[in-house]
Structure 1
């Protein structure tokens, strides 16, 4: 690749540079060329004089291999110095920051009394050590015991354990080291200062709403006790009395806290005043009353966290004491943890960073040695750096006195805040270098990866998302020029409905994947070629819905693989194995045995389990042995128990998997792979050499899964890859699907304490009067800042996802629509997409939207049983079904009720069962084969139905992804429409919903249904018309018979039914 002028500017080895490298701008190429330029331009510099730090092992390996290829070629061509360079390159420091720190400690640690042969703890070992230490603190008295007892009384043992583990694991986020006076001082100062600031803000804000409170206090209440406005003001009587009596501002604030339930929703938001009070009751005061209540509600919502402490200042004192208790116990835990690691000569990843910083700060000899060694420092992915890692680089760089600094990254791709990465460091360091006399900032603004359409889309939507909210976590958006020309596409799939449907979304994604295999081209070095499965990645924000997406891929016979790390230990198969191990360790564990019997290993039903539980015996295991019907299950488990005492754990599980035939259960292909992964994990002796040890290791991982690691991909595998967006960072594919954009991850219980990266630890406090855990002002301030940080990072995650695509990008997510047809608020990244595109329901109906100089295709998918959930005014866009003077078609039928609480929508099979009618044996829907280019039968029926409802055929086939079927669908619909015309005179009502009772066997079954068309003639007789494009089955006939029986008592005349199908010679079949 020929270097651009900006890339060439990045090779100025005489300058300290900060390079902002947008997605696909050739960052790795520039990094490698910078390294080679140093070697070419400085004769006395060898690879061992260059420190190159990357974010991942994969990146460091790739960089080393590229440099080695170039150096090998130069060595072969020129010899001389390059031979020495090649030999020196073997020991060059091209590593991750953890790799560099490990090497530094092993080579220089002896001077600080560190054994260089130390081990590095994995997640399982860390969890085990912490659990043992905390349990020891509970049972063995120590200086921290009084503080620990107070915490247990207030929080409970479970919360204390969770709190301490999280603080130890996240200690890299703390502004000061645990054990230093700085942490305690900073946290207490934060606690006090936040309270003062929020108190001052509340008092100032009260001045702003006093006119509203005064108006409400003198407003006469109408004589209408049931009026909602009257009820609310009676609820505020304490507040309004305090205002009338001229109480102090603190007393008014205390009264407002007592009345908060009248002013806020359960989530703490201001209550809506839209329907507050009746205007006829309130008269001229109505508007003023609503405005004043709204202003007061907003005030209480904004300042609610400080109000509980105004009338009870001792709560703040109690919170400060508990904060000091937490720090005291944390220091004790940290000290014991350090002693245990020292005893076993091990350290964790955080230790490596912090120890390296300490060595460089405290040992001048080590620092001078490192500064003499390195003449250049290259930092890759600098946007993912945390403060301690940056401190290492700062110490070595020494303000430019010791070496040249080159850092490259993209703040728009900083998505690892949960790993302590601080995007502000990139901006601050860039600003520092820009002001340095030998420093400058370079922006790489040309994208070489993605097609013109994708870059036009990215440049079109992200300026309105990034940098618009000026806060300390936001980053500006720098547009990228597209190096590539047209040839790609962007498609948005909007799943419309009042509830989520990953099944429907996954099915549409599978359809689009098969369409991509048929129609889409991807660009290679040799030009365009047909797409392959290995060209495709499916990215998701979280693992929510993974199983349903997998089901959709399997049903479409699409080969795929899932990359999992921590998420693997949340899979049901893993939990099933854990319950099995629990039982093998303890046969008295009834819960574990019940789970094993009901799970995939034995698949007993609830009735079977009930039968076992009624047998004689004191435990479920004894009862199982005495129940003859399940003797085989008991004997098999007894054999497994015996094996567990004399065989390796992995051999025991392998035998269990084989003997129970678990691979043949539903979802067996996925289970087969996951169970094999479990066997691989159990074969590692570090996870346990006995069933009991293995159980303990697995239990810890299920409770606290490891963080997501780095994926390993093999591009030669012809499969679609399914993974999270975070795992896809740094990777690219020709075709990228981003599914489930609305998912935001699981909202865990709000923690008892929270870390502010700038200010320290903040606590909740127990209000002993109410039993509630209240957010202190410091906690509230830290939580708001964390929410702001998370919101900004979500934008960057979305950017990373979109820029993984080279040729084609598909974005899919849910847009909620309530049952009344009104639009809901999209969530997660789907809201970002809707806002960035300014996407409307009209755009979705049109099926296209211009973004810049390209057009985004929009596919609309219904996530509900309700077919049309669009705004009422858009109904005018429909073309009505052709009518004649003999038969007119309308959309509103008033003779049949359409709503009924408790009424069920039956399937044809359920109706057949009620009526006692036999059904076809081949009724199971057969999924379409992967090689079939046409729509599945149900999709064909849906498309014809929608055209007969009046939706233009071009729009329908475009939504379903079959634009070439417009002609056939139109012919089928027209044929059926002609048959409808021939039904005779009357009025036809389309898509009629009704409720009624189906009588059978002396019982009334409350059901509801929907008919495609209901025709009522001049005499009041009704004809039910059912559109059918597929095979007629007996259960369909039963359903029509049920509809006739249910509608007859409602319609007032005779009721018949008929089926209209395309291509019927006899037209109408009754």
Structure 2
């Protein structure tokens, strides 16, 4: 064989040779090998070179012999593309004819090469061994949105059937609903389905589902027993539509390999080597699959070797079940186990030496595992693998800048972000003037929820940019709804998509209606819109009939209209843009609609896709984004600043990286979820008292939940530190960190452990916050330029005002209405201006204004006023004026209230409902032409910053005048006491309800009536408001909201 320097496949696609150590690893094939590869070390180059070396030097191996597993389909496509370019080069420049011929042979079969995600590998395996696996080989794979929708429907239906049907009634289901209420019970069961990988792994290891610290309560035991039944119900529903979800692919493959030795032997004869990229992002079930294929625990060699590449310091996908402790265990095992090797790639070819050296210094300290660290923390952490810089020292520029601001006094998050965004926009303009192209610069955010503040700044400074929205855009309601509409057209038998679309604002049918129309006939060929039940409410029947008519018309238009024209048509027909505009962030939602139409237009025209092809393509993008938040960088070749999440930037590099909002990335706190889980401890379930209120964390009964949650916090804290490492190491030439500290955050940082990233970095490096220096600050010999500043709240506010006045000529057109343009190659998207807002509810205003505590016999007993209110409203809406005990029981189940507590207060509830129905206000509302029960509202209070006020009317009606009725559970003895209570406690609520009626319905005169029905006879208090009141009420609400938000 020729010397390695002349072997053309041991180079990258441009012909750059691997370094000596990379070549050694690429040709290694005598043991299972695990490589810990730092950022910028060329790990993918080594993996591709190893893949090609195996196939180029073993002519008797076919394309199936080497399996390469990547973390995403996008990464798989890129790997195939890079392999093909290397092979094309081999075919062109190779010295030996046999090399050129072998390269041509591999190229010919490369399209069917097993290169893809673990899920695609498992799907392929299950189809090949369908009979052994017990699956139909034509199964389709549910995307995550479909699976989530189906899980919720299955859990709700199963639970309802098992508490209401005489033949199916389950004691466990009744216990679960009795403790958690119907809605919380549904949520818990759905979450358990979502955690099947974790649960099934624990079961296989004979470990309990729910954490065993002390004895489980009866409710916890019942919930655990429900798991098998709910899994069967979910499997049955998927079988009806011949579908599997992503977890099924892994679990069924694991079971098949575990139980069937014949399949294992056949698989080993077919595949000779297994290569895995991003090994640090695997979970325990995936590693079990690899273990069974490769036979790691078998005494005799199986002939199949493993080659895994990863970096434990870059494991950031815990929310996708990635478990870094799996990589750490394999790494430790490889040190001592026979037949294993381990190696490090620690040369950094990406970053200039100062960035590499500061990274080493910083994260050696952050990643340190203390001597007193518990077992979980030791498994989650590994000492930093130091990197060796390869690039030369930079000339004529400083690579590292910290812009750490300090604001004395109380300042809100909105003000801090505006301050940072303004500084960043100015700095980008300076960098562009210094010679950096806009496309060289990336702004990396922890999440995109606050990205509009940075967009505003970039627009006003005339800076072109891309928002790489990741899963955020396709997770928006607007993108989902429009994509689901196209999916319903292209997949008429997909009832999951149909249910999602019917439930969307485009149609808006209720959950009860969905349950009826999909539950009445389980045949896969049944079309729910062909047989609409006559006993549905008239309004629901009309919605379904309109939906059927719309789909029939759309099917006829689909063949003659372009995708863009079809989307514009359905938006007009359903008034979807009007509906979206009326929701919170209405302008942003309209921008999302326009963006989706433009994207659909571009994809259909550029890729020549019909509706079905477009749907499949968009779903492929959706899969990548929903699963890991890594979108294709469309338009990234244009000269524009890239704004994206850190997760989206994983695997990428940029000459300049700016990481803002360090002060807003907080350390993980105690979970508010109903259920938490970790592989170490299992599941912890939140428990409630008899009144339906969550138990405190200090309660003995909550010790299982707290134990699991504490482990979760340890895991998430370690992952958050690794996320900062990933952001930091994307930079090639310049790293800029930006953060703002307020007095409140300084107090938090004095507590145990780091409170936010700003404090973590500043304390680790002993860097002062709020300073700007003309000379560099020395950190272990590395120069860091400090560009921060300390300012008062007034100065920060003034900066914000200056910021809002900046507007270049290049972006003034943004304030004009935007039509849907015909775009060929869009340079960058500029969604409508949507400033940050303050959000408060009417309840917030009332509780802060409270001066008199109400008396209520509901509060004093076991039924909270909120739950009593839900039951009462349910009765009144359905005109049940004297509910029986049986009716109260099922109504409590329906609204998620405590059944026992409701039955204990049945007589009080009957009295309350009866008094409410006797009130003149309720009777007047029944005569109104239009009325709505429990109607949510959202209104805007103009000004800077804008304020969103939310609330809910108990009952609002339109007759001769607008009438708002609010039922109170307070116990009052007289009309005078009711008047006093309204004046002291509820006047703000009355004003807010009236103002909302004016803004939503353009009401000029509003009568607000409080009905105190929890007395011997109902007492009614009336307050009237006219057009003369609106301005003063709005200003009063604004001042209260600003005061509550701490805005001076």
| TM tier, smaller | 0.5 to 0.7
Residues 798 and 907 of structure 1, relative CA distance in 2, 3 Å threshold: closer
User: Pick from 6, 12, 21: which aligns with 1:6?
Assistant: 21
Q: Measure how far apart 1:856 and its partner are.
A: 1.2
1:355-402 per-residue CA deviation (whole Å, 9 max, x = no partner) reads 111121122221101111222211111000111111121112113532
1:919-938 alignment, distance < 5 Å: 925-927=805-807
Question: Could you say which residue in structure 1 is the equivalent of 2:89?
Answer: 73
User: Pick from 726, 729, 740: which aligns with 2:661?
Assistant: 740
Distance 1:907 1:730 in 2: 36
Question: Could you say which residue in structure 1 is the equivalent of 2:518?
Answer: none
Distance 1:574 1:863 in 2: 42
Q: Measure how far apart 1:813 and its partner are.
A: 1.5
Distance 1:842 1:814 in 2: 8
**Conserved in 2, the CA contact under 8 Å of 1:187 and 1:762?**
no
1:93-112 alignment, distance < 5 Å: 93-112=114-133
Residues 931 and 461 of structure 1, relative CA distance in 2, 3 Å threshold: farther
Question: Could you say which residue in structure 1 is the equivalent of 2:897?
Answer: none
Question: Could you say which residue in structure 1 is the equivalent of 2:248?
Answer: 351
**Conserved in 2, the CA contact under 8 Å of 1:711 and 1:727?**
yes
Asked if 1:754 corresponds to 2:655, the answer is no
1:172-571 alignment, distance < 5 Å: 172-174=197-199, 176=201, 186-187=208-209, 190-191=211-212, 194-195=213-214, 316=215, 319-399=216-296, 400-469=301-370, 470=373, 471=377, 472-487=379-394, 489-497=399-407, 498-499=410-411, 500=413, 501-519=416-434, 530-568=435-473
Deviates more, 1:2-11 or 1:350-359: 2-11
Q: Measure how far apart 1:119 and its partner are.
A: 0.6
Unaligned runs of 5+ in 1: 196-315, 520-529, 590-620, 622-636, 686-697, 869-904, 910-921, 933-1070
Q: Measure how far apart 1:111 and its partner are.
A: 3.1
What SS class does the counterpart of residue 90 from structure 1 fall into?
helix
Question: Could you say which residue in structure 1 is the equivalent of 2:883?
Answer: none
Aligned-residue CA RMSD in angstroms?
Answer: 4.3
Deviates more, 1:393-402 or 1:26-35: 393-402
Q: Measure how far apart 1:860 and its partner are.
A: 1.4
Question: Could you say which residue in structure 2 is the equivalent of 1:811?
Answer: 737
What SS class does the counterpart of residue 45 from structure 1 fall into?
coil
What SS class does the counterpart of residue 545 from structure 1 fall into?
helix
1:124-176 per-residue CA deviation (whole Å, 9 max, x = no partner) reads 32233223222322332376732222222211222112211222112222353
Residues 566 and 458 of structure 1, relative CA distance in 2, 3 Å threshold: same
Asked if 1:133 corresponds to 2:154, the answer is yes
Distance 2:576 2:134 in 1: 52
Distance 2:430 2:30 in 1: 52
1:949-964 alignment, distance < 5 Å: none
1:859-897 per-residue CA deviation (whole Å, 9 max, x = no partner) reads 2145753449xxxxxxxxxxxxxxxxxxxxxxxxxxxxx
Q: Measure how far apart 1:462 and its partner are.
A: 0.9
Deviates more, 1:567-576 or 1:150-159: 567-576
Question: Could you say which residue in structure 2 is the equivalent of 1:855?
Answer: 783
Residues 38 and 441 of structure 1, relative CA distance in 2, 3 Å threshold: same
Distance 2:135 2:307 in 1: 31
Residues 768 and 726 of structure 1, relative CA distance in 2, 3 Å threshold: same
**Conserved in 1, the CA contact under 8 Å of 2:404 and 2:740?**
yes
Q: Measure how far apart 1:579 and its partner are.
A: 14
Question: Could you say which residue in structure 2 is the equivalent of 1:829?
Answer: 757
Question: Could you say which residue in structure 2 is the equivalent of 1:792?
Answer: 718
**Conserved in 2, the CA contact under 8 Å of 1:536 and 1:735?**
yes
**Conserved in 1, the CA contact under 8 Å of 2:670 and 2:710?**
no
Question: Could you say which residue in structure 2 is the equivalent of 1:782?
Answer: 708
Question: Could you say which residue in structure 2 is the equivalent of 1:216?
Answer: none
Distance 1:186 1:771 in 2: 27
User: Pick from 686, 705, 709: which aligns with 2:629?
Assistant: 709
What SS class does the counterpart of residue 208 from structure 2 fall into?
helix
**Conserved in 1, the CA contact under 8 Å of 2:119 and 2:246?**
yes
Deviates more, 1:358-367 or 1:345-354: 358-367
**Conserved in 2, the CA contact under 8 Å of 1:19 and 1:441?**
yes
1:1003-1034 per-residue CA deviation (whole Å, 9 max, x = no partner) reads xxxxxxxxxxxxxxxxxxxxxxxxxxxxxxxx
Asked if 1:766 corresponds to 2:688, the answer is yes
Residues 669 and 181 of structure 1, relative CA distance in 2, 3 Å threshold: closer
Q: Measure how far apart 1:821 and its partner are.
A: 11
Residues 543 and 88 of structure 1, relative CA distance in 2, 3 Å threshold: closer
Deviates more, 1:798-807 or 1:86-95: 86-95
Q: Measure how far apart 1:451 and its partner are.
A: 1.5
**Conserved in 1, the CA contact under 8 Å of 2:502 and 2:508?**
no
Q: Measure how far apart 1:783 and its partner are.
A: 1.2
Q: Measure how far apart 1:576 and its partner are.
A: 12
Residues 507 and 840 of structure 1, relative CA distance in 2, 3 Å threshold: same
1:544-592 per-residue CA deviation (whole Å, 9 max, x = no partner) reads 4212111111111212222224433776977999999977646999xxx
**Conserved in 1, the CA contact under 8 Å of 2:37 and 2:310?**
yes
Distance 2:803 2:423 in 1: 23
Deviates more, 1:375-384 or 1:108-117: 108-117
1:283-311 per-residue CA deviation (whole Å, 9 max, x = no partner) reads xxxxxxxxxxxxxxxxxxxxxxxxxxxxx
1:824-869 per-residue CA deviation (whole Å, 9 max, x = no partner) reads 777422222112221224855677421233211122145753449x
Asked if 1:54 corresponds to 2:70, the answer is yes
**Conserved in 2, the CA contact under 8 Å of 1:357 and 1:388?**
yes
Residues 659 and 854 of structure 1, relative CA distance in 2, 3 Å threshold: closer
Instruction: Give the TM-score, by structure 2 length.
Output: 0.59
Distance 1:770 1:585 in 2: 34
Distance 2:639 2:591 in 1: 17
Residues 762 and 588 of structure 1, relative CA distance in 2, 3 Å threshold: closer
Residues 923 and 21 of structure 1, relative CA distance in 2, 3 Å threshold: closer
Q: Measure how far apart 1:420 and its partner are.
A: 1.1
Distance 2:628 2:42 in 1: 26
Residues 587 and 664 of structure 1, relative CA distance in 2, 3 Å threshold: closer
Unaligned runs of 5+ in 2: 1-15, 483-499, 512-538, 555-565, 605-617, 813-1048
What SS class does the counterpart of residue 117 from structure 1 fall into?
coil
**Conserved in 1, the CA contact under 8 Å of 2:505 and 2:576?**
no
1:214-237 per-residue CA deviation (whole Å, 9 max, x = no partner) reads xxxxxxxxxxxxxxxxxxxxxxxx
Instruction: Give the TM-score, by structure 1 length.
Output: 0.58
What SS class does the counterpart of residue 742 from structure 1 fall into?
helix
Q: Measure how far apart 1:727 and its partner are.
A: 1.6
What SS class does the counterpart of residue 95 from structure 1 fall into?
strand
Residues 930 and 850 of structure 1, relative CA distance in 2, 3 Å threshold: farther
Distance 2:185 2:577 in 1: 43
**Conserved in 2, the CA contact under 8 Å of 1:505 and 1:861?**
no
Residues 784 and 810 of structure 1, relative CA distance in 2, 3 Å threshold: same
Distance 2:221 2:107 in 1: 56
Residues 395 and 819 of structure 1, relative CA distance in 2, 3 Å threshold: closer
Distance 2:584 2:239 in 1: 49
Distance 2:429 2:734 in 1: 14
Residues 175 and 136 of structure 1, relative CA distance in 2, 3 Å threshold: closer
Residues 105 and 579 of structure 1, relative CA distance in 2, 3 Å threshold: closer
Length, aligned pairs only: 684
